[in-house]
Amino acid sequence: MELLKLGNLVEGVFLERLGRFVVRVSVGGSEVLAHNTNTGRLTDVLVPGRRVLLQVAGGRLGLRLVGVEDSAPGCFCLVDTLTQGRAFERAVELGLLPYLKGCTVVRRNPRVGGSTYDYELDCGGRVAVAEVKSAVMRGSGGEAMYPDCPTFRGRRHIEGLIELAKSGVEAYLVFVAAICRPTCFRPYCGGDPRICELVPRAVYAGVVVRSFSVHLEQSGTVYLDNPDLPLCLG
């Protein structure tokens, strides 16, 4: 199902990553720099020579990396975390995520219990907290995986959600599987073993842990593929 339509896109070719937030790409035969919002290592995604989609944006660089072509021609991994967040908000608004049916986004970046999370939700009069994580690493079985590197911030968020759930707050941990046709979501133990332990602990503590899959097409359309992607936690 179509979730979003992105405008002002240009196509290019990925050349190299110059830092955490800057990539070098070729657009129309010229080499330019673009902003990368995804702080993961992305070593299996940002491969030199791959086609990329960039959005004309404000800021110093003027372009933002949005998608990187996946193994299927014409199907792009949605690497931009800003667009992933918009996709989550739109899916909630349209009632497409069964575990968040009847919920609405109240505000972004609420500070709760000493930590800042992605969203405060109103779920039928109940206040809920949601943290959304980007899963754009592909496993050998086609899984979408998170994280691809150690993440202190990710650990802190999941630990915080566990404490919130234990105190009676409705807490959600949602992974955006933003690769083409993933089989399931799996925590990647090689990226951060602690996250691999915390995700099952969160489930046990009462945190609602879910995943949904999306992909981006060359036209700029973001599609919701599976609103409730299976979790592979074994």
* pLDDT digit string (tens) for the chain, length 234 residues: 999 999 999 999 999 999 999 999 999 999 999 999 999 999 999 999 999 999 998 878 999 999 999 987 889 999 999 999 999 999 999 999 999 999 999 999 999 988 999 999 999 999 999 999 999 999 999 999 999 999 999 999 999 999 999 999 999 999 999 999 999 999 999 999 999 999 999 999 999 999 999 999 999 999 999 999 999 987
Q: Which of 70, 96, 116 is the last residue of a domain?
A: 70
Same-domain check for residues 94 and 63? no
Q: Are 72 and 57 contacting, i.e. CB atoms less than 8 angstroms apart?
A: no
Same-domain check for residues 14 and 102? no
Degrees (nearest 5) of the Cα angle 147, 45, 155? 10
Same-domain check for residues 61 and 162? no
Please identify which residue in the block is written with the tokens 């979408």.
144
Same-domain check for residues 190 and 88? yes
Same-domain check for residues 143 and 63? no
Same-domain check for residues 150 and 209? yes
Q: Which of 70, 98, 130 is the last residue of a domain?
A: 70
Degrees (nearest 5) of the Cα angle 22, 153, 131? 100
Q: Are 132 and 119 contacting, i.e. CB atoms less than 8 angstroms apart?
A: yes
| 197 SS3 class | helix
**Domain containing 50: what range?**
2-70
Among 27, 14, 38, 88, smallest CA distance to 62 is for 27
Number of Cα atoms under 13 Å in the Cβ half of residue 47:
9
Does some domain include residue 234?
no
Does some domain include residue 96?
yes
CATH code of the domain containing 64 = 2.40.50.580
Does some domain include residue 232?
no
Tokens of 217: 């097409």
Q: Are 63 and 34 contacting, i.e. CB atoms less than 8 angstroms apart?
A: yes
* 190-204: b (≥16 Cβ within 10 Å) or e: ebbebbbebbeebbe
Tally of structural domains, the chain: 2
Same-domain check for residues 34 and 144? no
Q: Which of 70, 89, 118 is the last residue of a domain?
A: 70
Does some domain include residue 233?
no
pTM of the model: 0.96
User: Which pLDDT score, from 0 to 100, does residue 160 have?
Assistant: 97
Same-domain check for residues 18 and 133? no
* DSSP symbol at 98: G
